[in-house]
């Protein structure tokens, strides 16, 4: 039994220490202003986020989930429509589709990237398909060229779930800027995290931006002149102010995550039972998720915990096998996603994670499953 402080899956303390004075200063500034919702901080943050992402518009909202719901709603997705997505994701992706009364159509993932397989997307298109919703899972960009090609040929919209990929790029272009809309989350554990909930939509389309802006404030472009049924999904000034302090550091933090991933790759290389994620271009490693073969994962997690290493399983159940969908989607088979769900384990990672801690994690893991 290890008596030292356990290594957590995520440590936000270094980030907070780094920016402690700046964050406190802006919190006090917002408090003094007594302007708490949709004020100058939100406006400034939207401008800075749009500049960072390289889009004409960035529209802040309450959460990544709302960013997905409002994006789909702005595109006119509703009952009777089908939206193709991955079953290997956080439930919010599918939930957003179901919320609008549309049907999520789950298509299997690629073995290497763990992201939506474009070859299977094409086969899943029906006369009811309206959109494709790829997820840049764990911060690894999807095969957007192939997905956009299908969307163009079949007349489909594309909404990107970038909750885990803020700052990830494909040939220098930000994820979330390939489709009609990109949806981002600022949940505290995300690569750019607030001190509470928050989200953002990015688009180059002026009309979609206007619709999304209206939807997040009860469907009104002009206050008290409501035009459609919308949402209360505003970002608050405190979150916007904190995110403005953090955004300039995101590039360095994402570089730190990549460095941690590279180190893990070296520490864990050459073991048949462990499949490590390659450090591909533009990947921002929201999670460092390995696959372990031929072992009891619950037992492995418990053993690692005994050795002072905390881990997480993202995600244990593919969406089509969740209780809510298992009947309506009984016919769906996504063997790769199903297998991944039984093999994945996410190791501790944060931008400032020290090499010593990584060595400890690797040693604990290899002691359980490492056979060359």
Ligand X SMILES: *Cc1c(COP(=O)(O)O)cnc(C)c1O
Scanning 45-53, 89-97, 142-150, 172-180 for contacts with ligand X by CB under 6 A, the matching segment is 89-97
Whose Cβ is closer to ligand X: residue 71's or residue 164's?
Answer: 164
Q: Of 7-15, 111-119, 156-164, 207-215, which part binds ligand X (CB under 6 A)? A: 156-164
- Of the pair 199, 318, the CB lying nearest ligand X is at 199
Chain position whose Cβ is nearest to ligand X: 64
Contact between 199 and ligand X per CB under 6 A: yes
b/e per residue 51-90 (b: at least 16 CB within 10 A): ebbebebbbbbbbbbbbbbbbbbbbebeeebbbbbbbbbb
Residues 186/193, Cβ–Cβ less than 8 Å: yes
Residue 59 or 268: which CB sits closer to ligand X? 59
The SS3 of residue 343 is helix
Residue 161 touches ligand X, criterion: CB under 6 A = yes
In this chain, which stretch among 115-123, 159-167, 240-248, 316-324 interacts with ligand X, using CB under 6 A? 159-167
Q: Which of residues 336-365 bind ligand X (CB under 6 A)?
A: none
Question: Is 166 among the residues that bind ligand X (CB under 6 A)?
Answer: no
Closer CB to ligand X, residue 89 or residue 346?
89
Q: Which stretch, 87-95, 138-146, 213-221, 302-310, contacts ligand X (CB under 6 A)?
A: 87-95
Helix (H) or strand (E) holding 230: none
Q: 297: burial class by Cβ within 10 Å (0-12, 13-18, 19+)?
A: middle
Would you state the torsion angle of the CA atoms of residues 324, 125, 209, 172, taken in this order, to the nearest 10 degrees?
100
CA–CA distances in Å: residue 186 to residues 107, 174, 201, 227: 27, 16, 11, 29
Spatial distance between the Cα atoms of 191 and 201, rounded to a whole number of angstroms: 16
The answer to whether 76 touches 248, Cβ cutoff 8 Å, is: no
Binding of ligand X by 187 (CB under 6 A): yes
For the bound state, the minimum distance from the C-beta of residue 138 to ligand X, rounded and expressed in Å, comes to 9
> Binding residue for ligand X (CB under 6 A) from 89, 175, 177, 191?
89
Pick the piece of the chain touching ligand X (CB under 6 A) from 88-96, 149-157, 254-262, 277-285: 88-96
Query: Count residues contacting ligand X (CB under 6 A)?
Result: 15
Closer to ligand X by Cβ: residue 76 or 188: 188
Structure tokens at 262: 């590279």
- Kindly tell me which of 63 and 113 has the beta carbon lying closer to ligand X: 63
Strands 169-170 and 173-174: antiparallel
- Beta strand extents in 186-287 (DSSP E only): 199-203, 274-275
Q: Is 159 in the site for ligand X (CB under 6 A)?
A: no
How do strand 173-174 and strand 129-133 relate by DSSP bridges?
unpaired
Instruction: Figure out which of the listed residues 23, 61, 92, 243 binds ligand X, where binding follows CB under 6 A.
Output: 92
Q: Which of 50, 72, 107, 135 binds ligand X (CB under 6 A)?
A: 135
Closest distance of CB 291 from ligand X, Å: 18
Q: Is 165 in the site for ligand X (CB under 6 A)?
A: no
Which residues, 6+ apart, have CB-to-CB distance to 281 below 8 Å?
Answer: 169, 170, 171
Smallest distance, ligand X to C-beta of residue 288, A = 15
Q: Which of 45, 90, 106, 138 binds ligand X (CB under 6 A)?
A: 90
Window 16-75: residues binding ligand X (CB under 6 A): 63-65
With b for 16 or more beta-carbon neighbours within 10 A and e for fewer, the 115-143 pattern comes to bbbbebbbebbeeebbbbbbbbbbbbbbb
Residue 164 in contact with ligand X, rule: CB under 6 A: yes
Phi, psi of 17 (to 5 degrees): -60, -45
CA gap 117, 235 in Å, rounded: 34
The answer to the question of residue 287 lying near ligand X (CB under 6 A) is no
Q: Applying CB under 6 A, which residues contact ligand X? A: 63-65, 89-90, 92-93, 135, 161, 163-164, 185, 187, 197, 199
């Amino acid at each position: 039994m290890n008596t030292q402080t356990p290594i957590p899956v995520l440590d936000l303390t270094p980030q907070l220490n780094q920016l402690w004075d700046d964050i406190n200063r802006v919190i006090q500034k917002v408090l003094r202003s007594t302007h708490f919702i949709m004020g100058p901080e939100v406006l400034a943050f939207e401008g800075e986020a749009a500049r960072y992402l390289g889009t004409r518009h960035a529209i802040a909202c309450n959460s990544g989930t709302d960013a997905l719901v409002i994006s789909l709603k702005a595109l006119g997705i509703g009952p009777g429509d089908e939206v193709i997505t991955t079953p290997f994701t956080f439930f919010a992706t599918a939930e957003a589709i179901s919320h609008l009364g549309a049907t999520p159509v789950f298509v299997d993932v690629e073995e290497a990237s763990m992201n939506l397989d474009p070859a299977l997307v094409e086969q899943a298109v029906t006369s009811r398909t309206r959109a494709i919703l790829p997820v840049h899972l764990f911060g690894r960009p999807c095969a957007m060229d192939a997905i956009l090609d299908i969307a163009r040929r079949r007349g489909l919209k594309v909404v990107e779930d970038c909750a885990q990929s803020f700052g990830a790029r494909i040939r220098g272009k930000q994820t979330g800027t390939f489709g009609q809309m990109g949806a981002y989350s600022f949940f505290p554990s995300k690569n750019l995290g607030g001190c509470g909930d928050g989200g953002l939509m990015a688009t180059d389309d002026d009309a979609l931006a206007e619709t999304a802006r209206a939807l997040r404030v009860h469907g009104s472009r002009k206050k008290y002149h409501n035009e459609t049924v919308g949402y209360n999904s505003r970002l608050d000034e405190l979150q916007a102010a904190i995110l403005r302090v953090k955004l300039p550091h995101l590039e360095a933090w994402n570089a730190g995550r990549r460095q941690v991933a590279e180190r893990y790759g070296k520490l864990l290389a050459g073991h048949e039972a462990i499949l490590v994620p390659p450090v591909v271009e533009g990947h921002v490693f929201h999670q460092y998720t390995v696959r372990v073969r031929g072992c009891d994962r619950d037992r492995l997690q418990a053993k690692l915990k005994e050795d002072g290493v905390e881990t997480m399983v993202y995600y244990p159940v593919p969406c089509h096998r969740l209780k809510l969908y298992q009947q309506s989607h009984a016919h769906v088979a996504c063997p790769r996603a199903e297998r991944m769900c039984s093999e994945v384990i996410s190791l501790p990672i944060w931008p400032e994670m020290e090499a010593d801690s990584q060595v400890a994690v690797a040693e604990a893991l290899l002691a359980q499953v490492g056979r060359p």
